[in-house]
Chain A
Amino acid sequence: MREITFSEALGEAMLEEMQRDPTIFTYGEDIAKQGGIFGAYKPILGKYKDRIIDTPISEEVIFGSALGAALAGMRPVAEFHFSDFLFTGMTAVANQIMKFKYMTGGQGKIHLILRGPDGISKSAAAQHSESIETLFMHIPGIKIIVPSTPYDMKGLFKTALKADDPVICFEHKMLYAKKGPVPEEEYYIPFGKADIKRAGKDVTVVATSRMVHESLKASEELAKEGIDVEVIDLRTLVPWDKETIIESVKKTHRLVVAHETWRRGGWGAEIAATVQEEAFEYLDAPIMRVGAKNVHIPFSPPLQDFVVPDYKSVINEIRKVVNV
Chain B
Amino acid sequence: MQYEKEFLIGLYRTMVRIRNFELKAEELFLQGKLPGFIHLYIGEEAIATGAMANLRKDDYITSTHRGHGHMIAKGADVKKMMAELYGKETGYCKGKGGSMHIADVSIGVLGANGEVAGGLPIAVGAGMAIKMQKKDSVVISFFGDGASNRGAFHEALNWASVFKLPIIFLNENNQFASTERVTETTSVKNIGDRAKGYNIVGATVDGNDVIAVYEVVKEAVERARNGDGPTLIEAKTYRIKGHFVGDPELYRERSEVDEKWQFEPISRFESTLLKMGMLTDSEKDSIWKDAEVEVKDAVNFAEESTYPAPESALQDLFESDEGYDY
Contacts and interface: CB of A to CB of B under 8 A. Distances in A.
B322 to A, nearest CB: 7
A56 B125 contact: no
Interface in A31-66: 50-51, 55-56, 58, 60-61, 63-66
A192 B159 CA distance: 36
B94 A73 contact: no
Contacts of A91: 115, 118, 152
A198 interface: no
A283 interface: no
A311 interface: no
A179 interface: no
A300 B311 CA distance: 51
A278 to B, nearest CB: 11
B318 A68 contact: no
A103 B113 CA distance: 10
Contacts of A68: 60, 62, 110, 121-129, 139
A61 B105 contact: no
Contacts of B315: 106
A101 interface: yes
A239 B322 contact: yes
A105 B104 CA distance: 10
Given A68-B123, A91-B115, A61 B159 contact: yes
Given A55-B159, A103-B101, A69 B128 contact: yes
A76 interface: yes
Contacts, number: 159
Nearest to B128: A69
B103 interface: yes
Contacts of B91: 105
B128 A74 contact: yes
B93 A103 contact: yes
Given A68-B126, A109-B319, A73 B133 contact: yes
B283 interface: no
A72 B317 contact: no
Contact of A74 (B102, B133, B316): B133
Given A103-B97, A239-B325, A141 B317 contact: yes
B183 interface: no
A95 B118 contact: yes
Contacts of B121: 60-61, 63-65, 67-68, 92, 96
Contacts of B118: 64, 91-92, 95-96
A63 B156 CA distance: 11
Nearest to A64: B121
A25 interface: yes
Interface of A: 25, 50-51, 55-56, 58, 60-61, 63-74, 76, 91-92, 95-96, 100-110, 140-141, 143, 163-165, 191-192, 238-242
5 contacts: A56-B155, A65-B125, A72-B129, A104-B111, A140-B317
Given A96-B121, A104-B103, A108-B103, 9 more contacts: A61-B121, A65-B159, A68-B110, A71-B105, A91-B115, A101-B319, A104-B96, A165-B318, A240-B325
Interface of B: 60, 62, 91-97, 101-106, 110-111, 113-115, 118, 120-130, 132-133, 139, 151-152, 155-156, 158-159, 162, 315-320, 322-325
